[in-house]
Amino acid sequence: MESIKQLNIDNRSYNLIVDLGCGDGGITKHLFGKHLPHKRLVGIDVVDDMISYARNHNMDDTIEYVKQDMSIGWPEIASPRVRQLDGTVDLLISNFALQYMPDKCQVMNTCSRLLSSTTTTTTTNTGGIFHANIAILPDLNKKLVTTKGPPKQWYPTIDKQIADWKQSIIANQLDIKQLMTIDYDWTIDRQSMIDFMPVIQSNYRSFFKNQSDFEAELNDHLSDTLFDAFVNPTAPDPKPNAWQQFIADTTVTEVVVHFITIRVTAVKQKQIN
């Protein structure tokens, strides 16, 4: 709701809103659609089942859903509807989706391209607004335990990840108005944690030089390292068998996952003719 408060100053109304990475459309309809006055809202996601569910359960008169992978470059985007949005979006929202896209600069180039250079709302005349909550992945270097020599420095630090996002945003004609870091604690039940582990693993795939390195690290101890980093981030020493112990101890019914989020608001710079 904090994001909604920031975007709904003086009951601002938007002509066109895009929810990038809308998932099943629940937040799109019940949070963004309900609390952000608008004429049209487009939810975009890459997963067929998510878009299908959204169309069946979270439609509204002003909402539509489009399937498209937004992690690819603009020339490769095939959806005619997405291409129609070029330069027309007043507000682009992304809630915990951008961290799944490995090329930060490429996705920010697409976001910038979608945003209007000049947007007139009920209270202001400015460029289109970009607003996102982005999860920052824990720095695994401090947790990495290896039997194959010294730890490999494949994982960017938290500060490096934040700096990379800032640089990618600024490099794509977006003027950062606010960027804050937020500590999140997420209580998750046992089965959800088990189901979520492959998603966490996939986030780190891009940090490896090649697939064989990723598979070797995954088979060796990556799950233990990831679980330890998310659940015990401040522990002074790594716990080499953290994931294995969690799986073996069925009395543990839930865990608290810790991570950092950046909340950023930026405005498309006006083009000078």
Tell me if 46 is assigned to some domain: yes
> Are 244 and 125 in a shared domain?
no
- Name the pLDDT band for 139 (thresholds 50, 70, 90): confident
Give the C-alpha separation, 243 to 128, whole Å: 44
> Are 123 and 30 in a shared domain?
yes
Structural domain count, the chain: 2
> Are 228 and 169 in a shared domain?
no
The pLDDT of 52-73, averaged and rounded, is 96
Please check the confidence at residue 122 and state whether its pLDDT lies above 50: no
Tens digits of residue pLDDT in 159-177: 999 999 999 999 999 999 9
Tell me if 236 is assigned to some domain: yes
CATH of the domain at 132: 3.40.50.150
Tell me if 229 is assigned to some domain: yes
* CB-CB neighbours of 50 under 10 Å: 18
> Are 50 and 68 in a shared domain?
yes
> Are 64 and 144 in a shared domain?
yes
> Are 221 and 133 in a shared domain?
no
Amino acid, single-letter form, for residue 20: L
> Are 205 and 167 in a shared domain?
no
* CB-CB neighbours of 182 under 10 Å: 12
DSSP label of 270? P
> Are 55 and 154 in a shared domain?
yes
3-state helix, strand, coil in the chain (%, to 5): 40, 25, 35
Q: Which helix (H) or strand (E) holds 243?
A: helix 242-248
pLDDT score recorded for residue 152: 61
> Are 202 and 164 in a shared domain?
no
The pLDDT of 68-87, averaged and rounded, is 96
Tell me if 107 is assigned to some domain: yes
Give the C-alpha separation, 263 to 2, whole Å: 10
Give the torsion sign (CA, 188, 192, 198, 203).
Answer: negative
Q: State the residue range of the domain holding 174.
A: 2-185+259-268
The pLDDT of 18-47, averaged and rounded, is 96
Q: Which of 173, 223, 185, 172 minimizes the C-alpha distance to 201?
A: 223
Give me the percent of the chain exceeding a pLDDT of 70.
90
- DSSP-derived 3-state class of residue 13: coil
Tens digits of residue pLDDT in 242-256: 999 999 999 999 999
Tell me if 273 is assigned to some domain: no
